[in-house]
Structure 1
């Protein structure tokens, strides 16, 4: 979903600064191939549809193989796994590097058009290891990664990142400052609230997706309450019919992509707009529960005399039953 929303192109430089198994980079690669494949370039087998990118030029192929996808991780094991996974998916020369992207030796210059990430939740780093370019004073990695992503994007660059809910409403100076940076220095397009079981069995923490573009202005922020992703929210994660992802992607394209700031949701919609001024008044709080309107459905109760009559009728039936049981003893 995140890749589809950000919509990376063949001309973008794409990064995941905490890439793990390189899942985002692989899905970005597949997305670009699909977007550059004609109808004649699609073939299917027992695995599914395959996209040959037959609309690519030789320069396009060279670019995507050598200067498009970049991943970093501070675990040598995950670097090896990410490289192997990339190669298995057709990225023959993956740029996946062992690097602590929050540390002193990773340069914060603008370098990428797209950043896709799911950085470690609720981690911390020693103060002595933090890069001096960080302006937010904190050791919380989820906050430092957000500032890093902002720094590494070109102006006009797009980012989609998964964050724990604490980032959205934390009251510390660092939490407020990072949210202020996102709203004042970028166009924070969307906050997509995710169900708490979406990462089970590995983690049960509540999370959200932030979508922003560096350099643009935030006027309103689009909130979406994604309640189901097509799988059960327990440890089994079995496939189910309820799935809000297609609706979320369609509504994002239709409303946010077209900048329909005056669009009004229906009672059944799971999205709504929040004005920038309202966010500022609430210390840049981005938690969906802060702004989501609760619709109360009136409940009609029977009149007391009707309820009393029904109770007496039930008691009468109970007494009749007890008498029949007594005769059987």
Structure 2
């Protein structure tokens, strides 16, 4: 545990040092700082991943500290054989791509150009595995020419030299000796200053780890293998990482769609950090609703925290076409006359997720709590379809303010194509958690005990007073298809056995009190009338 904390401290220090370099060259809080920090961090991680893999494959070859120099002495054929022997998920680097080589070249003329050329070459040679694709199939570049973000060209060499020196001081390699669970925390630390919406269509919704863990552990209570997991509004990938850890990274393949280039790049970095590099080619940057890349695919597990409200009037007309009729079975929200930004796009995501489930598929979707009780409209049509087809496993209504980014109360909808329609779990966890302050916002945080209580109560299908009920599909139908646990809680009336004399005594006391109150009321009325008369004559 001490070593775990030590590694985390060192990694955070590296991130802080990179931010310090950016600040020293006028890029602190600059719009491009995010690209520099995340890409340099990714370069470092890939560099060390490659070094570690080569040392594991050829321990005798790399006893020398001059790692890149030793590799340079290999013949082309030997080096090619070495590369071919590595796992497909390991980046393909040349000796001159390594940080140790750039460190020895840092005082050369045009070092910034060498730095940029190195990153460009790595991008080209690793495009097949490490590129994010758009809907059209076009691939992005893994790295930008980072020195170009320094507007004063005379400072570029010094800037790149400063970055390389910070990278050279630190190594991830010893962390690869065993599996650590802190990379989710490291990722959060890395992007914490940049994880906000930058004007894209879909806002970057950050899902708290507690909610992500609850969703994953309810979705996957038993071991599974060879499954496909999907998020149609993936953001930076918190939900996907959580379910992948629950299943086991080697037992699942990740698929995602999101319209934001920044979110897609965050997700790529998250996949690399979490040993899911093999799924990077499945990241698609697209408008999931209007231009779905995976429309014909079916998935075993789907997790999603979709945007709740968004103006989609500019592509509303394109949704009403024959190819989407089956997908949007409950309808498409109309274009609002005012407040178009409040259009309920999440209703389209729910329908898209239902359409994308395999015959045995399961899903967990974050929805505004208002969805589970709406009396009519698309919301009710969706709920009716879930009940009629026996696809609802249950609902958990979360505490208010559990999401710092939105004041909307949320619930998590759990779907299962093989759900038990006679034991549907409806849970009201809104009273759980403790309130903490984060900057100007207040957020509700669940304790580990409360997390476990929610998961165990749900998975065991247990009715707990004031927390959960277990109901049938028929009972839900009689309540206008409401998914709110509160509407099924029993109204409790407490009875107390008393004698006839005790009853008479209580009634006499009530009568005496009433008489007293009436007298006081009459006295007060007289005083008010006298006061009003006095005011009139004045």
Give the TM-score taking structure 2 as reference length.
0.45
Q: Which runs of 5+ in 2 are unaligned?
A: 1-213, 334-343, 497-505, 514-538
Per-residue deviation, 1:217: 5.9
Structure 2 match to 1:281: 478
Q: Which runs of 5+ in 1 are unaligned?
A: 34-52, 54-60, 256-262, 308-329
What pairs with 1:111-190 in structure 2 (closer than 5 Å)? 111-126=298-313, 127-130=316-319, 132-133=324-325, 134-139=328-333, 140-190=344-394
Give the structure, 1 or 2, with the largest relative contact order (CA under 8 Å, sep 6 or more). Answer: 1
- Aligned mate of 1:251, from 440, 451, 457: 457
Per-residue deviation, 1:306: 11
Counterpart contact for 1:5–1:253, Cα < 8 Å: yes
Structure 2 match to 1:272: 469
Structure 2 match to 1:91: 276
How far apart, in 2, do the equivalents of 1:189 and 1:239 lie? Answer: 25
Give the TM-score taking structure 1 as reference length.
0.71
Describe the superposition over 1:154-205 as per-residue Cα deviations: whole angstroms up to 9, x where unpaired.
11111111111121122333111111111112431111111111102x1111
- Aligned mate of 2:266, from 81, 101, 110: 81
Instruction: Report SS of the residue matched to 1:285.
Output: coil
Assess, with a 3 A threshold, how the Cα gap between structure 1 residues 145 and 239 changes in structure 2: closer, same or farther: closer
Assess, with a 3 A threshold, how the Cα gap between structure 1 residues 3 and 241 changes in structure 2: closer, same or farther: closer
Per-residue deviation, 1:221: 2.1
Structure 2 match to 1:28: 243
Assess, with a 3 A threshold, how the Cα gap between structure 1 residues 242 and 81 changes in structure 2: closer, same or farther: closer
State yes or no: 1:15 paired with 2:264.
no
**Which has the larger share of helix?**
2
Assess, with a 3 A threshold, how the Cα gap between structure 1 residues 92 and 238 changes in structure 2: closer, same or farther: same
Per-residue deviation, 1:101: 1.6
**Which protein has the larger Cα radius of gyration, Structure 1 or Structure 2?**
2
How far apart, in 2, do the equivalents of 1:286 and 1:238 lie? Answer: 23
Counterpart contact for 1:185–1:215, Cα < 8 Å: no
Per-residue deviation, 1:294: 4.2
Describe the superposition over 1:92-123 as per-residue Cα deviations: whole angstroms up to 9, x where unpaired.
24232102221144453342000011111133
How far apart, in 2, do the equivalents of 1:21 and 1:280 lie? Answer: 37
Report how many residues are paired: 268
How far apart, in 2, do the equivalents of 1:112 and 1:191 lie? Answer: 21
Instruction: Report SS of the residue matched to 1:176.
Output: helix
Instruction: Report SS of the residue matched to 1:277.
Output: helix
Cα RMSD, aligned residues only: 3.1
Counterpart contact for 2:394–2:425, Cα < 8 Å: yes
